[in-house]
């Protein structure tokens, strides 16, 4: 019994130490991570839990064990720092162009080349922006207006006509940029709604998406999308990933790779998934190499490719 109490007291100390080190994680959040109630964790930490203490202790230790494993992984295999690639520079130019000239810009390119990272960074540096991400569930004219109103901290109440009037009244003469990521999901009525809002407010409008978005704003749909076709400046991002960008991403944190490894990663970066898949492959190969206590070699990258289905 004394040993059990000693074990519990050690676990309590570990939990308190963990929470002290991770201020972003509340006691309530830790309880959810462990799959127990906040009340149970509070009682456990006060050494007053009257249920099956060993069950709660096991769940808590499982969380602490997982977090320790993650910590070791972070120290041994480090996520590359963000690198400003050629594609990101090209996209940044388009974002700034729209903002400076109150224009409509459609920026499109292959998945995984850094579009979402770039637009998120731009929005962070321009906090007056109204930003949302389209999806299969956020695509209609009504959806678009609800998202804009949410970004404005306003309630979406009333019919579509009322929502549109409210948005126009709020945004007119403000020059607040409206940015939509994954814009290829937008339906034609969503595009037309954005066009009307732009015409009435002259707020910069940026649509970012995959090449599929061009199917919605091409000449054959011009009559359906009103004047959107003639309004939009279209920027096709370079699909070809540069070797210098691959090197900038992977040759960090003391990592050294031979020509074979770099060429393999370059090939992956220029296939489906681009940088996104390349980084996953690189980190997986690095993990394999660490387990073997070896430097990253082409064999590790090839082994990782067999596991990562996308490549």
Q: Which of 30, 55, 76 is the last residue of a domain?
A: 76
Do 207 and 107 sit in the same domain of this protein?
yes
Distance CA 255, CA 296 (A): 8
Q: Are residues 95 and 211 in the same domain?
A: yes
Domain boundary residue, one of 236, 268, 292: 236
* Residue 185 confidence (pLDDT): 93
What's the confidence (pLDDT) of residue 5?
A: 46
Kindly state whether residues 62 and 118 are assigned to the same domain.
Answer: no
pLDDT for 292 equals 84
Q: Do residue 204 and residue 278 come from a single domain?
A: no
First vs last C-alpha separation in the chain: 55
Quote the crossing angle between the two packed helices 38-45 and 53-76, to the nearest 10°. 90
Give the C-alpha separation, 217 to 229, whole Å: 6
Q: What pLDDT, in 10s, does the model give residues 46-95?
A: 988 888 888 888 889 888 877 666 555 444 678 888 889 998 999 999 99
* Beta bridge pairs of residue 106: 207, 234
Per residue in 169-183, pLDDT (tens digit) is 999 999 999 999 999
Residue 81 lies in a domain: no
Span 95-137, pLDDT tens digits: 999 999 999 999 999 888 899 999 999 999 999 999 999 999 9
CA distances from 168 to 28, 71, 176, 205, 212 (A): 42, 49, 12, 14, 28
Task: Tell me the pLDDT tens digit for each residue of 233-260.
Answer: 788 888 788 999 999 999 998 888 999 9
pLDDT at 67: 66
Check whether residue 178 and residue 230 sit in a common domain: yes
Is residue 203 located within the same domain as residue 297? no
Same domain (yes/no): 68, 155: no
Q: Which domain holds residue 248?
A: 243-307
- Among 179, 212, 236, identify where a domain stops: 236
Q: Are residues 134 and 169 in the same domain?
A: yes
Give me the percent of the chain exceeding a pLDDT of 70: 88
| Same domain flag for 100 and 232 | yes
Does residue 148 carry a pLDDT above 60? yes
């Amino acid at each position: 019994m004394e040993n059990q109490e000693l074990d519990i007291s050690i676990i309590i100390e570990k939990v308190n130490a963990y929470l002290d080190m991770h201020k972003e994680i509340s006691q309530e959040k830790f309880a959810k991570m462990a799959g127990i109630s906040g009340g149970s964790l509070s009682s456990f930490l006060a050494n007053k839990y009257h249920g099956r203490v060993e069950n709660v202790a096991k769940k808590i230790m499982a969380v602490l064990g997982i977090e320790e494993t993650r910590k070791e992984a972070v120290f041994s295999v480090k996520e590359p720092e963000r690198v400003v690639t050629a594609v990101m520079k090209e996209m940044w130019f388009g974002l700034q162009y729209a903002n400076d000239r109150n224009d409509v810009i459609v920026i499109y390119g292959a998945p995984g080349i850094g579009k979402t990272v770039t637009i998120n960074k731009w929005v962070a540096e321009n906090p007056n922006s109204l930003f949302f991400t389209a999806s299969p569930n956020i695509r209609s004219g009504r959806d678009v207006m609800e998202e804009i109103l949410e970004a404005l901290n306003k309630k979406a109440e009333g019919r579509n006509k009322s929502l549109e009037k409210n948005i126009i009244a709020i945004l007119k003469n403000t020059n607040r940029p409206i940015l939509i990521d994954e814009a290829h999901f937008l339906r034609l009525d969503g595009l037309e709604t954005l066009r009307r809002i732009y015409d009435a407010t002259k707020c910069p409008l940026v649509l970012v998406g995959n090449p599929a978005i061009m199917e919605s704003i091409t000449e054959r749909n011009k009559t359906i999308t009103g004047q959107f076709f003639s309004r939009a400046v279209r920027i096709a991002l370079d699909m070809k990933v540069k070797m210098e960008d691959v090197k900038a991403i992977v040759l960090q944190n003391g990592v050294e790779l031979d020509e074979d490894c770099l060429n393999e990663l370059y090939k992956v970066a220029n296939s489906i998934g681009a940088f996104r898949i390349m980084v996953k492959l690189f980190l997986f190969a690095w993990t394999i190499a660490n387990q073997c206590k070896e430097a990253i070699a082409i064999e590790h990258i090839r082994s990782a490719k067999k596991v990562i289905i996308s490549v």
